[in-house]
């Protein structure tokens, strides 16, 4: 029994738009302080990967439900979204700490860069499961289980 219905890279192709949106939000978040001089307490309300991820997962969950996909498809999409989002955050942390650019990704005075990045790796795994759970509820409400058991998309 396979864990996923398709090769993992195929799900990347399906999630490209969502990953691109996450990248756009990550870049905006990166540039708000050094380029636009917007204080962190104001700028973080405008750009948030934490808010964007569930919204994107909601859209993909409806899409999977309407196409007759399964929970396995949702798991792969959740993994791509969560792990790519965390990769963008880790890249921002690395540039902030090692490059000396002051962004929203780190707190001034925090010196444990590697621990901070490792925490985001753990968060990526947990976030995958959380997004999968959110997606599964949306999938069920959208009638995805019925379409999947019927064997063909509408």
- Cα angle for residues 39, 87, 92 (degrees, 5° grid): 30
Is residue 32, in this structure, part of any structural domain at all?
yes
Is residue 8, in this structure, part of any structural domain at all?
no
Residue 102: half-sphere exposure toward Cβ, Cα within 13 Å: 11
pTM for this predicted structure: 0.84
Is residue 31, in this structure, part of any structural domain at all?
yes
Q: What is the pLDDT of residues 13-63, one digit of tens each?
A: 999 999 999 999 999 888 887 777 777 777 777 788 889 999 999 999 999
The chain-wide mean pLDDT, for the chain, equals 86
Is residue 6, in this structure, part of any structural domain at all?
no
- Domain limits at 35? 13-150
Is residue 4, in this structure, part of any structural domain at all?
no
Number of structural domains in the chain: 1
pLDDT above 70 coverage of the chain, percent: 91
Whole-angstrom distance, CA of residue 135 vs CA of residue 1: 22
> What's the mean pLDDT in 80-88?
94
> Which is more confidently placed, 131 or 103?
131
């Amino acid at each position: 029994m396979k864990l996923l219905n398709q090769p993992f890279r195929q799900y990347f192709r399906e999630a490209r738009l969502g990953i691109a949106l996450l990248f756009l939000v990550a870049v905006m978040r990166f540039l708000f302080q050094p380029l636009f001089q917007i204080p962190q307490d104001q700028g973080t309300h405008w750009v948030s990967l934490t808010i964007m991820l569930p919204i994107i997962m909601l859209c993909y969950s409806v899409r999977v439900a309407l196409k007759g996909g399964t929970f396995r498809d949702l798991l792969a999409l959740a993994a791509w979204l969560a792990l790519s989002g965390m990769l963008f955050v880790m890249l921002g942390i690395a540039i902030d700490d090692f490059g000396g650019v002051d962004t929203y990704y780190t707190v001034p005075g925090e010196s444990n860069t590697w621990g901070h990045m490792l925490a985001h790796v753990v968060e990526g795994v947990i976030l995958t499961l959380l997004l999968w759970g959110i997606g599964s509820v949306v999938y069920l409400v959208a009638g995805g289980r019925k379409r999947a058991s019927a064997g063909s998309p509408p």
